[in-house]
Every structure is written in C-alpha cells, then in structure tokens.
Structure 1
Amino acid sequence: MSFDKTIHLPVTADEAFALVTEPERLRRWQTVAARVDLRIAGDFRWTVTPGHNAAGTFKEIEPGKRVVFTWGWEGGGDLPPGASTVTITLEPEANGTSLRLVHEGLTEEQAASHAMGWNHYLDRLVAETTSDGGAGPDDWAWAPDPIDYLSSADAALAILLGVLRNVTPADSDKATPCEDFNVAQLLDHLAGSLQNIGRALGADPADVKEAAPETRIAELAQPTVEAFTRRGVEGNVDMGFAELPATMVAGILNLELLVHAWDFATATGQHVAVSDVVSDFVTELAQQTISEQVRSSGSFAPAQPTAETASSLERLLAFTGRNVTL
C-alpha cells in the first residue's frame, strides 16, 4: 500500500526543496526538532510530535527536483526506521511548484494512519507558504499522550522555539523576569545549560552564538534531547559538579525549556500558551527538583503566592519564584 498526494506551493522549486530538507524550515510546518545529514546514505531524525521520532536515510537527492528517503519510527515496532520509502518530486508550474509525495511500503493500516499524518502536515506546508503568519503552532504538539520526561521536553521545546522565532536583535537588551539576565544574557544562560546537559549525556552540541535565537537553541536542544532519548532516565548522570539522578537532570531540562519560554515571551511582549497536561507535569518535576537547599544557593527565588484562579502555568511559574502578576 502507498500514500500519494500532490499539492501546489506558491514558491520556487528550490524554496520548496529547502522546506522539505532543511531543519530550520522543517520546524516551521512538520517537526519539533530535526537533524538532517543531506547526502546519499546520510541519515535524518525528526521529532514529528512530542515523543514520536521518525528516522531514515537518504537514497536519492536532486536539489530543487527530487529527494528519496527511507522512513520509519524509533520504537515503532512494525514500521522501524528503513522499513518504508518516501519520494518527494518537485515540478515547476505556473505561479509556483507542484510537490508530489509518495510513501510506499506500508500495510493497509499503516497507509491509513500515515495518510492522516501526511494530509495534516501537507496542509500545514501549504499554510506555511500562503498564510501571513505561516503554519503557526501545531495542535498535534500541544499535549503529549502519554506524557513522560522526554515527551514533555519535546512539547516544551516546541513552545520555546515558537517564542524564540519572534525574538530579534532589537530585543537583546530587554529585561526578563530573571533579574540577573536581559534577553541576550538569558539566551547565553540557556545555551550553556543545554550544552552542559548534552555533554553530560554523551552528545557534543555546538553553540553557534551568531545564529538567530531560535536556530541557536534548536541546534543545541535537538542533540541533547536525542541523547537523553537514547540513554533513558535510569541511574545517575555525571554533570561534572556532581552526579545527579537522571530523572532530576530531565526535570532541569524541562524547566529550562518551559519556564524560560515564558521568560522570553514576557520580555518581548508575546503570549505563551501551554497545555495543562504539560505544565502540570513540569510542576511535578519542579517540586522534585527545587528544594530549599537549591533555592538557598540562589538558583531559584522563593516561591511566590498565586490567586485561587491561577492557571496551571502560573502556579508552575510562581513555584519557580516568578511574579506572575508582571
């Protein structure tokens, strides 16, 4: 069985090729995070939705014309990486490009489920190229089911990157809810935290400081979360200054991604929307991670009061010492 669909995009074939192969473009319409080694036999790994990672290798590459890659799901059982093949063909046409996607090597049940997925994402690809605001946040990344340490981190990363996408150099000196940091300094802090966690997990994420904020953080977070997914949350992690339970390190990662998303949004006049499923889970992690000893070290301010009507996210932020009435 196969899935076969053709859409029209009002962009050049080269622009369409970039949209389906470059991590920064993929994050706009299809993925939370993406690693791409665009060469024959090079591999890719896309976090399509929180906790669901597609992987495969490139078989054919004709820039601006065609790309063929194998496709499967990590831990997917009956459709592991390499078990099926996706072919994307681009043809110039009036006012844009015709994009045809064919997914082959599927069972009837797999074809039905992938048709639902591809239709969703191809609609978002069209929206990315036709709507003033692009494809926008993906509803499918809203509330992981089931939620765990790493699917929660994926969901938090999606929120953070959506905020950072709108942060510009003009925002660098703006104050943030973190008293010691302006926007530029908070970016450096977050980048350093992701890099340290990644290295402790066996990854070696590079910090490209001159990159745009969203790209900089995405390129640090993707290998860090991927390394955590490979390792799991059992045992301890040597963070250099101490050995910490892996669950605590995962809690720190979630807090860095989600709480700082709100910090950046608040500093730059953006609104951040978070599912209660995610904020409730990260609050549980915060309660396990932020002890009075941790607060006394200066890492977190004292917990702040909240109104009875406070949202789940506001309760999380107040627990981390933030004044949600700002």
Structure 2
Amino acid sequence: MTFDKTVVVPLDLDQTFALITQPERLRRWQTVAARVDLRAGGEYRWTVTPGHHATGSFTEIEPGRRLAFTWGWEQNKDMAASDSVVTLTLEPVDGGTSVRLTHAGLAEQQEAGHAEGWNHYLDRLVAAATAGDAGADPWAAAPDPINELTAADTTLAVLQRVLRSVTPAGLETQTPCADYNAGQLLDHVAGSISGIGQALGVQVSDDATKAPEARIADLAQPVLEAFYRRGLEGTVDMGFAELPATMVASILNLEFLVHAWDFSKALGTDLTVADALTDYVEVLAQQTISEQVRAGGSFAPARQVAETAGSLERLVAFTGRAVHAGA
C-alpha cells in the first residue's frame, strides 16, 4: 500500500526544504521534538505526538529537491524503521513549491492510520508555510496513554510554544517568581534540564546565545530521548540524592508546565492547556512537593483558590504562586 498526496506551499524550494528537514522548522507543524542527522545514512527521531516517536534513516538527500527516509515507530515492534519509506519530492510551481509525499511499503492495516496522519500534517505544513507557524497541534494536547514521560513530551510542547514569543526585551520582564526575571528563569529551566540529563548520562551542551525556544528544545530532546530508553523503573542518582525515576520525570513536568505559566504571565500571553494534562501534573506535584521540599525553599506554601478555580489555577496555586494579582 502507498499513500500519495501533493500540496502546494507559498515558499521557494530552499525554504520548503528547510521546513521539512530542520528541527526548529519541523516543530512549527509536525513534531514536538526532533533529532535530525541530515546525511545519507543519518538517523532521525521525531516526537510526532506525545509518546509516539518516529524513527528511521535518510536514504536520499537532494537539497531543495528530494528527501527519502525509512519510517517506523519506536514503540511499535510490528513496524520497524525499515519496513516503509517516505519520499518527499519538491518542484517549483507558480506561487511556490509543490510537495509530493509518498509513503510506500505500508501494510493494508497500516495505510488508513498513516493516511489520516499525513493528511493532518500536510495541512499543517501548508499552514506553517503560509503563516510561519501552524499553531498548537490538537493531537499533541493530551497524551493517551498518560504517564510521567508522555506527559513530559506534552508539557514540553506547551513550554516551547510560550517561549516562541519571548523577545530579547522580554527577557528583562519580571516573572511571578520573585527571584527571577524571564531571562533568569530561562537559565533556571535550562540548568534543571541539564542537571537531569547529566544524571541520566546525557552529554548536554547549553548554548545561552540561542533563541529561548531553541535553547530549551535542544536541551530537552536528548534528555527525554534518554529517559525513554531508560524507562521509569528504579532510581536516578541526582548527586544530592537517589530519587525514584518517576519523581525525576515528575520534576521535568513541573519545570515545563509551571514555568510555562510563569513565562505566559510575565509576557501577558494566553496559555491554554488541556485539563487532562493539568489534572495529571497536579497529582505529580502533590506526590513530589512535600513539606520538607517547601521548607528547603524550592516552593512557597500552597495558595488557596476558589472552588471554581480551573485545573491549571489549582496546579500553580499548589506550587505557591498567586493565581491572581494581589492574591
């Protein structure tokens, strides 16, 4: 079975090729996170939606013209990376570039699901090419099934979307965290991700000169990839203590989602998060933030909220933040 569809985007060949190959551009329409080694035989790993990771290797690369790669799902043993091949062919047309995508080698039972997926993402490719960003992907709003790692994929997506709007001037803006402006909070989040990565044995390199979204994305992708390889069993040596792996993953969720709220408040931007996600992260917070942790100064005392408070408001209030000005 082969899926075959062509769309036209309002970009030239080189711009279109960048949109389908560069991690920072892929995050605008197709992926939550992406690792790309763009050379013949080079491997890629894309977090397409939380908990669903496409993997394979590039077989053909003709910049601005053609890209082919094997396709499989990391968590699906029935569909290995070499079982099917995706080919994208670019041609100049009036008003832009035609992008023909074929996905060959699909079993009959795989074709319908992959057709639905490619139709969804090709629509988002056109939207990203037209507007610069396709917007939040509804398929990535809440993971199913949900656990500490699939939730971390999702909360990372939330944080990245907020960080895309951070300008150099915005880094000087005060956040709800009294000790941090936006730039200092960004350093804190980067340091937390780096520390967890080092505990997992990941060689991390933090480049503070990158744009905020790219900086956090480039740190978080290898850390979460390593966490998926490791799994949630046992403990992780954090240097200061041996912590359950589930707790370390919970810390990532809190870093991503709670600080996404901090950044959104500092910048005056809207933050929309699925209740299923915030409900789950609230449970993780309750399991992670003990009175002993609060006493150490990492979190202020929990705040009271109205019975009518939304899920996200309850979560941030539990972490000690004033949900409303003057609260």
Structure 1 counterpart of 2:64, which letter? G
1:63 maps to which residue?
63
The structural deviation recorded for 1:134 is 2.8
CA distance in 2, matches of 1:111, 1:320: 45
Q: Deviations over 1:111-146 (max 9, x none)?
A: 111000000000001011223x63100000011111
State the secondary structure of the residue aligned to 2:69: strand
Q: Partners of 1:144 and 1:8 in 2: how far apart? A: 31
Deviation (angstroms), 1:78? 1.7
Q: CA deviation at 1:94?
A: 1.1
2:116 is aligned to 116
TM-score, L = length of structure 2: 0.98
1:148 aligns with 147
Distance in 2 between the 1:49 and 1:83 partners?
A: 21
SS in structure 2 opposite 1:30? coil
Quote the residue 1:139 is aligned against.
Answer: 138
Q: Which amino acid aligns with 1:65?
A: R
One-letter code of the match for 2:88? I
Give the secondary-structure state (helix, strand or coil) at the position aligned to 1:172.
helix
What residue in structure 2 maps to residue 125 of structure 1? 125
Q: CA deviation at 1:243?
A: 1.0
Question: 3-state SS of the aligned residue for 1:14?
Answer: helix
Classify the secondary structure of the residue corresponding to 1:171: helix
Q: How many Å apart are 1:77 and its aligned residue? A: 2.5
Q: Assess if the C-alpha contact under 8 Å between 1:205 and 1:219 holds in 2.
A: no
1:29 paired with 2:53, answer no
State the Cα deviation string for residues 11-70 of structure 1 (Å, max 9, x = none): 001001001100000000000000001011110000000010000001111100001100
Counterpart residue identity of residue 160, structure 1: L
- SS of equivalent residue, structure 2 residue 68: strand
Alignment-derived partner of residue 158 in structure 2 = 159
User: Contact conserved, 1:88 with 1:101, CA < 8 A, in 2?
Assistant: yes
- Alignment of 1:298 with 2:297, yes or no, is yes
How far apart in 1 are the matches of 2:84 and 2:145?
26
Partner of 1:320 in structure 2?
319
How far the C-alpha of 1:205 sits from its partner, in A, is: 2.0
Structure 2: gaps spanning 5 or more residues: none
Pairing 1:237-252 to 2, within 5 Å after superposition: 237-252=236-251
Query: 2-side partners of 1:163 and 1:71: how far apart?
Result: 30
**Which 5+ residue runs of structure 1 have no aligned equivalent?**
none
After superposing the two structures, state which structure 1 stretch, 291-300 or 133-142, moved more.
133-142
Which amino acid is 2:89 matched to? T
Q: Which amino acid aligns with 1:22?
A: Q
Q: CA deviation at 1:95?
A: 1.4
SS at match of 1:28: coil
- Displacement of 1:93 in angstroms is 1.2
Secondary structure of the corresponding residue to residue 24 of structure 1: helix
Q: Within 5 Å, which residues of 2 pair with 1:1-326?
A: 1-131=1-131, 134-326=133-325
AA of the residue aligned to 1:252 = I
* Residue identity opposite 1:116 in structure 2: E
How many residue pairs get matched? 325
Cα root mean square deviation, aligned: 0.8
Q: CA deviation at 1:82?
A: 2.2
Partner secondary structure for residue 27 of structure 2: helix
Query: Could you give the per-residue CA deviations for residues 131-178 of structure 1, whole angstroms, max 9, x where no partner exists?
Result: 3x6310000001111111111001101110000001010101110011
- Quote the Cα distance in structure 2 between the aligned partners of 1:157 and 1:31: 11
Aligned mates of 1:81, 1:237 — CA distance in 2 = 30
Aligned to 1:273, the other structure's residue is in SS state: coil
The 1-side partners of 2:110 and 2:71 are apart by: 12
Tell me the percent identity. 65
Residue type matched to 1:165 in 2?
R
Question: Runs of 4+ in structure 1 displaced over 3 angstroms?
Answer: none
Distance in 2 (alpha carbons) for counterparts of 1:267 and 1:62: 43
Which whole-Å CA distance do the structure 1 matches of 2:77 and 2:244 have between them? 29
Partner SS for 2:161: helix
Distance 2:58 2:205 in 1: 24
SS in structure 1 of the partner of residue 103 of structure 2: strand
Q: What letter corresponds to residue 29 of structure 1 in structure 2?
A: W
| Distance in 2 separating the partners of 1:187 and 1:19 | 26
CA contact (8 A) 1:55 1:82 kept: no
Letter in 1 for 2:262: D
For 2:152 and 2:81, the matched residues in 1 are separated by 22
Provide the rounded CA distance (Å) in 1 between the counterparts of 2:103 and 2:198.
36
Amino acid in structure 2 at the alignment position of 1:64: G
User: How many Å apart are 1:80 and its aligned residue?
Assistant: 2.1
Task: Report the Cα distance in structure 1 between the residues aligned to 2:221 and 2:77, rounded to whole angstroms.
Answer: 23
- Alpha-carbon distance in structure 2 between the residues aligned to 1:134 and 1:228: 28
